[in-house]
Amino acid sequence: MKAVCLLSGGMDSSTLAYVAKDMGYHIHALHLNYGQRTEKKELQSATAIARSLSAEEFIPLDLGYFKAFGKSSLTDPAIDVDVFDENRPELPNTYVPFRNANLLSIATSFAESRDADAIFIGVQALDYSGYPDCRPAFIQAFQQVMDLGTADGTHIDLLTPFIGLTKTDILRKGLDLGVPYEHTWSCYQNEEKACGVCGSCHFRQKAFAELGLSDPIPYEE
Amino acid sequence: MKAVCLLSGGMDSSTLAYVAKDMGYHIHALHLNYGQRTEKKELQSATAIARSLSAEEFIPLDLGYFKAFGKSSLTDPAIDVDVFDENRPELPNTYVPFRNANLLSIATSFAESRDADAIFIGVQALDYSGYPDCRPAFIQAFQQVMDLGTADGTHIDLLTPFIGLTKTDILRKGLDLGVPYEHTWSCYQNEEKACGVCGSCHFRQKAFAELGLSDPIPYEE
């Protein structure tokens, strides 16, 4: 069995690739640079994780166009990254318009080219920032598009085993599987030390704290 | 009203951009180079058409990854382009895995970034080569994904006015609107003179013949 794993190098996607491997899949990892601020660090992390789980393939790809479109603090250095605020009524500015559909379309083209059986993406509908392209209904609709838009006879399962899990559940599972979290990176903002205040740092730190552990990566004081 | 138009520079997408303009939309044209053989010619054509209809924006983007994935004669020079054969039971090798979902995902990200009202794509379910990502059910499913995967309050209509038309209908409409067909390019195979035998040449030539006209572009003898 072959699986295409979207591997950003963050906590969720790294753990998920280990889960897919544990399920018996051969891992074809895809790392997508969409012009995010912390790409250098994410690419290092994804490379280290792909190597540590002996992926069959590790393909990093550059998608320059999100930077050209703008509208997100992750891809436009002129917009400050929103700090985490659970009372914010609207989406944080770290939302990248329709990003996950782009990632899944590329993953599906790759999976169809490789005759892969499944695609794994580490989306979550709990402990996340309310992005529309992470919700279960979006994933179900995308599976429909995959079924209809690939050649007859192609069957690729879009698997999101973390969609109903908290970050703490994910971390617990990853620790069981021996995920080297010191090689993962979640911060939206910086590359040297994680900022500790963006949405991504917030949920990551909360997970380690809930298990009474300290996160092995460095944070700003 | 703003529309994102996917503009390859072929007969359908060029005519469609003229139709969108005629409907009152301001045109934001997106031309996607996915590593197809005839990209040089297509880019010239799309540029000429965008200029001739006074598009607000014309953005050409390079997607290198389809070439890396392979599996299609359009993106892999080692595979000969299938000639048109109406008795072929399976898809021709010009099928690029899940290509249209990739194009539509990029178009949606662009449309959401620009607060556009609509996306136009020139897919057809008649006079085409049986590609799964051109059928009406695929388009309907993709509209669902757009509705669910963009920020709340975003409404982008995926418009495919040619889906039920024949190439001849499209050509008739384009002639009414003054589309300069001498600047369009459809051939899958060559860039100097159109091959005349691929699926794309086949349907284009048939349309001109049915209207008793001669196609203004050069063909191989």
Which residues are CB-contacts of B86 (< 8 A; sequence separation ≥ 6)? none
pTM metric for this prediction? 0.94
Chain A neighbours among B 41-80 (CB < 8 Å)? 59, 61-66, 68-71
For residue A147, pLDDT over 80 is answered with yes
Interface membership of A99 toward B (CB under 8 Å): yes
**Separate counts of helices (H) and strands (E) for chain B:** 7, 5
Going by pLDDT thresholds of 50, 70 and 90, the confidence category of residue B127 is low
Which tens digits make up the pLDDT trace of A6-58? 999 999 999 999 999 999 999 999 999 988 889 999 999 999 999 999 999 99
Residues in chain B within 8 Å Cβ distance of A141: 141, 144-145, 148-149
Contact B108 A100 (CB under 8 A): no
Which tens digits make up the pLDDT trace of A188-208? 998 899 999 999 999 999 999
User: Which pLDDT belongs to residue B86?
Assistant: 84
Interface membership of B34 toward A (CB under 8 Å): no
This complex has an ipTM of 0.93
Cα–Cα nearest to B99, from B126, B125, B127, B121: B121
For residue A128, pLDDT over 80 is answered with no
Which tens digits make up the pLDDT trace of B104-120? 999 999 999 999 999 99
For residue A86, pLDDT over 80 is answered with yes
User: Which pLDDT belongs to residue B60?
Assistant: 96
Which tens digits make up the pLDDT trace of B146-155? 999 999 999 9
Note every long-range contact of A204-213, with CB atoms under 8 Å and residues 24 or more positions apart, other chains counting. Answer: A204/A11, A204/A167, A206/A127, A206/A167, A206/A168, A207/A11, A207/A127, A207/A166, A207/A167, A207/A168, A207/A170, A207/A171, A208/A171, A210/A168, A211/A168, A211/A171, A211/A172, A211/A175
The predicted model gives B178-188 an average pLDDT of: 96
CATH annotation of B2-211:
3.40.50.620
For residue B208, pLDDT over 90 is answered with yes
User: Which pLDDT belongs to residue A220?
Assistant: 94
The response to whether A134 counts as a known ligand-binding position is no
- Picking from A6-20, B44-58, B64-78, B151-165, which range would have the lowest pLDDT averaged per residue? B64-78
Cα–Cα nearest to A32, from A129, A105, A139: A105
Which tens digits make up the pLDDT trace of A6-17? 999 999 999 999
In angstroms, the CA B106 to CA B104 distance is: 5
The predicted model gives B183-209 an average pLDDT of: 94
Q: Each residue of A83-114: b (16+ CB within 10 Å) or e? A: bbeeeeeebbbbbbbbbbbbbbbbbbbbbbbb
User: Which pLDDT belongs to residue A197?
Assistant: 93
User: Which pLDDT belongs to residue B67?
Assistant: 87
For residue A155, pLDDT over 70 is answered with yes
For residue A93, pLDDT over 70 is answered with yes
For residue A127, pLDDT over 70 is answered with no
Residues in chain B within 8 Å Cβ distance of A91: 151
Q: How far is A97 from chain B (nearest CA, A)?
A: 5
